[in-house]
């Protein structure tokens, strides 16, 4: 029902339209960008090494519904980090796309890149995402307290990970 395709410069305007405020940007991207996100920031973003950046396509309609990244690909230690995972429109959420997306990213990570460990960070108040990651096999490793200050409010993040041997192919 979904597929991954490379994130290209032609995708910048759509991506920028999804980031409506600084709080949303931080929840989705952490400190990777400054608000408002610009073409210049995205040009630098796609040039960085050790990352694979994708747009998420709903295959039936060929609509772009999201964004995802495998970052910090470390071939020596066989590890990477999932980042900037987003199902963009409210109408596309709670339909299982997030879980499908994580499975596709793990397929790339474990089968194609032959990695051993994948981790990610998620705000502790993002219950839906945490449940999704746990259903995909991720385990909480620890809580990083008050890691981000957004609008005078601190937010904490969980680090979660999965090892190749723990991954259940769908």
What is the separation, in whole angstroms, between the first and last Cα of the chain? 13
Give residue 65's pLDDT.
98
Kindly list the domain boundaries of the chain, sorted by start residue.
2-166
Q: How far apart are CA 50 and CA 36, in angstroms?
A: 25
Longest CA–CA span in the chain (Å) reads 42
pLDDT band per the 50, 70, 90 thresholds, residue 22: confident
* pLDDT beyond 80 at 80: yes
Give the mean model confidence (pLDDT) for residues 140-149: 94
Residue 69 DSSP SS3 = strand
Class of domain 2-166: alpha beta
- Strand-pairing partners, residue 163, are 117
Residue 11 DSSP SS3 = helix
Give the mean model confidence (pLDDT) for residues 57-85: 97
Question: pTM for the whole thing?
Answer: 0.94
């Amino acid at each position: 029902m979904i597929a991954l395709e490379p994130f290209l410069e032609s995708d910048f305007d759509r991506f920028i339209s999804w980031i409506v405020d600084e709080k949303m940007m931080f929840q989705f991207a952490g400190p990777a960008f400054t608000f408002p996100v610009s073409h210049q920031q995205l040009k630098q973003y796609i040039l960085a090494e050790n990352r694979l950046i994708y747009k998420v396509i709903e295959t039936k309609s060929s609509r772009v519904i999201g964004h995802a990244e495998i970052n910090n690909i470390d071939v020596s230690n066989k590890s990477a980090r999932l980042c900037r995972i987003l199902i963009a429109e409210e109408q596309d959420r709670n339909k299982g796309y997030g879980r499908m997306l994580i499975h596709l990213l793990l397929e790339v990570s474990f089968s194609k890149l032959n990695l051993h460990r994948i981790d990610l960070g998620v705000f502790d108040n993002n219950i839906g995402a945490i449940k999704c990651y746990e259903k995909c096999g991720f385990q909480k490793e620890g809580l990083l307290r008050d890691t981000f200050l957004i609008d005078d409010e601190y937010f904490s993040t969980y680090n979660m990970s999965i090892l190749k041997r723990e991954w259940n192919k769908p």
